[in-house]
Amino acid sequence: MSTLNEHHLQALRDIVGTEHVASSRTDRLTHSFDATQQHCMPDVVVHPKSTEEIAAIVQLAAKHRLPLLPRGAGSGFSGGALPVQGGVVLVLTRMNRILEIDTNNLIAVVEPGVVTARLQEAVERLGLFYPPDPASKEFSTLGGNVAECAGGPRCVKYGVTRDYVLGLTVVTPTGEIIRTGGRTIKNVVGYDLTRLFVGSEGTLGIVTEIILRLLPKPAAKRTMLATFTQIDGAAEAVSAIIRGKIIPTTLEFMDAGAIGCVRDLPGIDLPADCQALLIIEVDGEPAQLEPQLERIIELMQPLGLLATTIAQDAAEAEALWRVRRSVSPSLRKLGPNKFNEDIVVPRAKVPEMIRALEALSQRLALPIINFGHAGDGNIHVNLMVDLQEPGMEAKVQAALTEIFRTTVSLGGSVSGEHGIGLAKQPYIGLELDQPTLAVMQAVKTALDPLGIMNPGKIFPAESRLALAHDETV
Amino acid sequence: MNIHKELSDYRQELSACVRCGACQAQCPVYLATSKEGAAARGKLVLATELLAGRAELDAEAMRDLSLCLLCGACVHNCPNQVPTDAIVSVLRREISKKRGLGPLAKGVAALTANPRLLGSLVRGAGLFSPLFFKKIPETSGLRLRFSPESLKDRILPPLPSRNLFARLPERLQGQPDKPTLAFFAGCTISYLYPEIAEATVRVLQHLGYTVLVPRQQGCCGMPALSSGNGELLKQLAHANIAAFANLAVDHIITACASCGAALHQVHQAQQVQPGETGQNCTSFANKVMDIHVFLEKEGCLHTLADLLATTTATTQRIKVCYHDPCHLKNHGIIREPRALLRVLPTVDYVEMDGAALCCGLGGTFSASQPDLSRTIADRKTAGLAASGAELVASGCPGCILQLTDIIHRAGLPMRAVHTMTLVLAVLEQALTTKAEM
């Protein structure tokens, strides 16, 4: 890999225009981080406007062996947007046009820089629906959502980003422009490259256009908050609801630690003996919703249910959601450093996973706060610590390793929706065996023979990988 | 003596930024530029590095720090409420301290520290109104608030020949059993739109309140804050405290959203060092209240509704929408102005699309970043046009100035007014009708 020089900078300026190439220390600094709060300085930041410009930049990078990586809002939690080897950061936020909303075929065609919530607003105005709703939807971009295969609370019923991507335009690491999939639900011509690129974390190419599937917007939605005396009851309730053949739109949970963080906030009123809670939403035809909620209450009743509150209007629903949304911001009370993991286990294993986390928290005397998308088994595990304390770093590493081992042993995954990036590299070997990893690496090498596209991500350096894998044996 | 905080006083707040990116969602400048340096997160990284001595105030750093409207949208949307607006203000002051005031900041200083100069400029300008700004010399300070470039084709209000203080007595007597209030006008209202002040105090008088309009009040400090003039900020703070200190009032009413926000920011305990001045600052800031909030809190909407009960049939109805000033919206004042408009029986209130989008004025921002200011402003056009309203009401004279410009450039058949101007018009119409009956 070579370093960037003035000749490269001039070539970049010729492609996108001088004002869209930034190489001052300040400009590099303001593009050196993402939501992992780690910093890696890029050599240059480029804001391209078209697929063709990106292809030209990639060809330039390939010719001169310059590392490059795409960046959307930079709101990822796994370090996907960190330029660990420096190089060229391609910020795609100027490519933010919704190119088409096709109400006949229920399709949207977008550029990668469109913010998720803006597409949702645009399609909802036409009575349509784009379900994936990552917590960052107000600022995350669809390109980033595709790269990480973003999820969100609604995924329990509607699936994740990959379930809505029908086709892509991609600039490959050699600078070719390719098109995968298309505008139809059915398409079995050749390999399913669309699925390969979704969730590839910017390591296989740069997505420059996305064809998305839309749904009709559900006519109505109801929101309910259910409180429980114990986490076991709430965790069992998740399984009971699914077993009862109801798939809610969202099924979020909070454990006692998470409740403790928000209990005293103004406007939040929870029973004193509430040790766990669920926020449950159902959507569909208005007449179906009341009976569904009644059936859910019936299923939860024997499981230590304390109380249920059903929102009567949008404002009341918002007040119920406030309980859940207040958790993340208030976590800092417990410790200045947060380790936010997004493990996922099969739904029926949620109670077992929660019990294991509680036991671990007690054994290591570490605050572990759990909340998240219980309905699809995706638990946000937050270790709140002060890394200034001596020995804390090692303690956290031990705790994380144990959490991921338990997750995998229950048939789960170390990341449900954040991706591997940089943050989860040490743990990928706990889940994927060597032959599987070798196939993935073969794909990477085939598409990116020069190793310039978002280098240093997903796959750990050889030695670490072997170590992680040995430990599982 | 410096009553204001320095960057190092914000160490803890800076460390509270978790780089999540939520600040991008509502930042008007980020949305117009799509560049990370415009968003709060980028500025906070820069501030952190500057504080650690690892970064320098290079040209790009100065550019990024100029890309801020001080609208507070990022603070309002931040999960940890990191006060980026205050931090940007501090950095701008530090830039001025190190490099001296820029021409813009000097212009602001010349004007806002000297109400007489501002007053006389405006009085003289009355002769040329509405071409006032084109007639004043290139070096004049008032020009600097609206740079020559941003003035091109900008529509300006016909300037009043007499400013607020020449139009209103210092004390307007209400009913003896009702509380006394003080009114803080601010420069834009005092010199460009005195009728807004008149409307506000007259409505309060109709409601029975006695209103004091202290002559010695000065600029709120927003332009000084925005242009990084710490010395001036201190002077203005002392002058305003002195002007209001001896008045036995519970509330100091503002009708300018930006003045209200600036007075809170400048005088809040977090911004000033402890000590006597700090306490005076805090007690002053605690009394400042936006007129819309006051009317709602005091139950005046019911009184108004009663006063207006007889108007209706004979008078023509008018379709009105509302624009949210950033300095109300980002302080959670969204419901109150709308509630007030809905009380007016001759008003058909319609909610416009994009009511909460920033108008792009941002005090000195429109002068330092004229093109960007217009790009931000133009996002309002579609919503205004689609509303079908004849009037767009708002709670900030700066927004009204900018909305007038947007409307003019788009050729829309509507006008921008202050909510209080509209309230007084409807109220006086009602009282006249009542008197005739």
Residue of A nearest to B12 (CA): A336
Residue B84: CATH number of its domain? 1.10.1060.10
Query: Which residue of chain A has the CA closest to B38?
Result: A30
Report the candidate in A198, A204, A208, A202 with the shortest Cα–Cα distance to residue A70: A202
Complex ipTM: 0.91
Same domain, yes or no: A59 and A143: no
B378 pLDDT above the threshold of 60: yes
pLDDT of residue B160: 72
> How is residue B265 written in tokens?
């920011």
As to burial, measured by CB atoms within 10 angstroms (0-12 exposed, 13-18 middle, 19+ buried), residue A432 is: buried
Q: Which residue has the tokens 């108004």?
A: B304
Residues of chain A contacting B56 with CB distance shorter than 8 Å: 25
The CATH number for B398's domain is 3.40.50
* Per-residue pLDDT, A464: 42
Shared-domain flag, residues A77 and A189: no
Q: What is the pLDDT of residue B98?
A: 81
Assigned domain for A1 exists: no
Phi, psi angle pair for A261, to nearest 5°: -70, -30
Closest by Cα among A122, A288, A146, A268 to A206: A146
Asked if the Cβ–Cβ distance from B55 to A73 is below 8 Å, we say: no
Chain B positions touching A94 (Cβ under 8 A) are: 34
- Rounded CA-CA distance A167/A136 in Å is 23
Kind plus residue range of the DSSP H or E element containing A63: helix A51-64
* Diameter of chain B measured on Cα atoms: 75
Which member of A25, A27, A139 has the closest CB to residue B24?
A139
Q: Do B37 and A25 touch (CB under 8 A)?
A: no
Pick the last residue of a domain from B42, B68, B99. Answer: B99
Same domain, A316 and A415: no
Q: Let me know if A230 is exposed, middle or buried by CB neighbors in 10 A (0-12, 13-18, 19+).
A: middle
Which band of pLDDT confidence, cut at 50, 70 and 90, is reported for residue B235? Answer: confident
- Is A72 a member of any domain? yes
SS3 label, residue A415: coil
User: Taking CA atoms, what residue in A is nearest to B17?
Assistant: A37
Which of B256, B201, B274, B204 shows the shortest CA–CA distance to B2?
A: B274
pLDDT at A466 over 70: no
CA nearest A74: which of A115, A108, A21?
A115
Measured N-to-C along each axis, helices A350-364 and A231-243 cross at an angle, to the nearest 10 degrees, of: 160
State pTM to two decimals.
0.89
Please name the member of A25, A47, A75 whose beta carbon is closest to the beta carbon of B20: A75
From chain B, the residues in CB contact with A30 under 8 A are 36-37, 42, 45-46, 64
Interchain proximity B46–A96, CB inside 8 Å: no
**Which residues of chain A neighbour B35 with C-beta distances below 8 Å?**
47, 91, 93
Please give the pLDDT value at position A471. 39
Q: For B7-52, write each residue's pLDDT tens digit.
A: 999 999 999 999 999 999 999 999 999 999 999 999 999 999 999 9
Query: Nearest Cα to A428, choosing from A453, A395, A464?
Result: A464
Is the CB of B21 less than 8 angstroms away from the CB of A96? no
pLDDT confidence bin for A26, thresholds 50/70/90 = very high
Cα separation, B285 vs B247, whole angstroms? 14
Q: Does A93 touch chain B (CB under 8 A)?
A: yes
Backbone angles phi, psi at A194, to 5 degrees: -55, -50
Contact (CB<8Å) B21/A136: yes
At A214-248, the pLDDT tens digits run 999 999 999 999 999 998 899 999 999 999 999 99
Q: How far apart are CA A371 and CA B292, in angstroms?
A: 40
Q: Are residues A325 and A339 in the same domain?
A: no
Q: How many domains does chain A have?
A: 4
Distance (Å, whole) CA B161 – CA A402: 77
Are A107 and A183 within 8 A, CB to CB? yes
A312 and A239 share one domain: yes
CB contact under 8 A, B34 and A74: no
B184 forms beta bridges with B254
Looking at the domain assignment, is residue A295 inside a domain?
yes
Contacts of B36 in chain A (CB under 8 A): 30-31, 74, 91
Average pLDDT over residues A185-204: 96
Contact B312, B268 (CB under 8 A): no
Note whether B280 and B234 are within 8 A (CB).
Answer: no
Between positions 277 and 296 of A, the ones with CB within 8 A of B are none
Q: What pLDDT is attached to residue A472?
A: 36
B40-51 helix and B59-66 helix, angle to the nearest 10 degrees: 130
The CATH number of residue A167's host domain is 3.30.465.10
Residue that terminates a domain, selected from A307, A329, A351: A329
**What's the confidence (pLDDT) of residue B308?**
87
Residue with token string 């927003």: B222
**Higher pLDDT pick, B116 / B392:** B392
Residue B30 tokens, joined: 């980020």
pLDDT higher than 50, residue A80? yes
Identify the band that residue B4 occupies on the pLDDT scale cut at 50, 70 and 90: low
Residue numbers in A near B34 (CB within 8 A): 47, 91, 93-94, 96, 113
Alpha-carbon span B421 to B344, nearest angstrom: 12
pLDDT at B182 over 70: yes
Residue of A nearest to B40 (CA): A30
Domain holding B87, by residue range, is: 7-99
Residue A392 lies in a domain: yes
A467 Cα to chain B: minimum distance (Å):
31
Which of A140-149, A169-178, A364-373 is predicted least confidently? A364-373
Cis peptide before A216 (omega within 30 of 0): no
Taking the alpha carbons at both ends of chain A, their separation in whole angstroms is 35
- Pairing mode of beta strands B391-394, B415-418: parallel
Residue A147 · residue A115 · CB < 8 Å: no
Class of residue B10 by CB neighbours under 10 A (exposed 0-12, middle 13-18, buried 19+): buried
Which one of A25, A27, A30, A125 makes the best mutation probe of the B interface by having the most chain B beta carbons within 10 Å? A30
Say what the pLDDT of residue A384 is: 92
How many residue pairs bridge chain A and chain B with CB atoms within 8 Å of each other? Answer: 75
The minimal CB distance from B21 to the residues A22, A24, A139 is found for: A139
Q: B-side interface with A, Cβ within 8 Å?
A: 15-16, 18-22, 24-25, 34-37, 42, 45-46, 49, 55-56, 58-61, 64, 79-80
Cβ pair B45:A29 closer than 8 A: yes
Residue B312 has a pLDDT of 58
Domain stops at, among A300, A329, A358: A329
Into how many domains does chain B fold? 2
Residues A191 and A248 grouped into a single domain: no
pLDDT of res. B270: 43
Secondary-structure percent of chain A, ordered helix, strand, coil, rounded to 5: 40, 20, 40
The pLDDT value recorded for residue B313 is 56
What would the pLDDT profile of B45-90 be if each residue is shown by its tens digit? 999 999 999 988 888 999 999 999 999 999 998 988 899 999 999 9
Looking up residue A18, the CATH number of its domain turns out to be 3.30.43.10
Residues B36, A91: C-beta atoms closer than 8 Å: yes
Q: What is the distance between the alpha carbons of residues B361 and B390, in angstroms, rounded to a whole number? A: 22
> Can you give the pLDDT at residue B223?
85
Strand, helix or coil at B221? coil
pLDDT, tens only, A404-462: 999 999 999 999 999 999 999 999 999 999 999 999 999 999 999 999 999 999 998 75
Q: Are residues A282 and A296 in the same domain?
A: yes
- Among chain B residues, the shortest Cα distance to A118 is held by B25
Give me the helices (H) in B312-364, please: 326-329, 335-343
**Residue B21 C-alpha, separation from nearest chain A C-alpha, in angstroms:** 6
Which residues of A are less than 8 Å from B45 in CB distance? 29-30, 32-33
Mean pLDDT of B391-410: 94
pLDDT in tens, A126-139: 999 999 999 999 99
Q: How far is CA A1 from the centre of its chain?
A: 30
Out of B78, B99, B120, a domain closes at B99
pLDDT mean across residues, chain B: 84
* pLDDT > 90 fraction of chain A, expressed in percent and rounded: 86
**A94 to B34: CB separation less than 8 angstroms, yes or no:** yes
Predicted local confidence at residue B153, as pLDDT: 54
Inform me whether the pLDDT recorded for A105 exceeds 90: yes
Burial class (CB in 10 A: 0-12, 13-18, 19+), A438: exposed
Q: Do B46 and A26 touch (CB under 8 A)?
A: yes
- Point out the domain boundary residue: A191, A216, A241: A216
As to burial, measured by CB atoms within 10 angstroms (0-12 exposed, 13-18 middle, 19+ buried), residue B359 is buried
Please tell me which residue of chain B has the smallest CA distance to A339.
Answer: B18
Domain residue limits at A57? 6-91
**Interface contact A113, partner B, CB < 8 A:** yes
Site of tokens 């207006």: B308
CB A166 within 8 A of CB A185: yes
From A232's Cα to the closest Cα of chain B, the distance in A is 30
Same domain, A23 and A57: yes
Q: Do B22 and A139 touch (CB under 8 A)?
A: yes
Is A127 found in the same domain as A251? no
Cβ distance A229 to A236 under 8 Å?
Answer: no
Which residues in B243-260 are b (16+ Cβ under 10 Å) and which e? bbeeeebebbbbbbbbbb
Which residue is closest to B33 within chain A, CA to CA? A94
Q: Domain boundary at B79, B99, B119, which?
A: B99
Please answer whether residues A367 and A381 qualify as being in contact, where contact means their C-beta atoms are separated by less than 8 angstroms.
no
**Do residue A332 and residue B25 have CB atoms under 8 angstroms apart?**
no
The verdict on residue A366 lying in a domain is yes
pLDDT (mean) for B346-358: 95
- Res. B279 pLDDT band, cuts 50 70 90: low
- Give B329-350 pLDDT, tens digit per residue: 999 999 999 999 999 999 999 9
Residue A473 clears pLDDT 70, i.e. is over it:
no
pLDDT of residue B127 exceeding 60, the answer is no
Q: Are residues A458 and A344 in the same domain?
A: yes
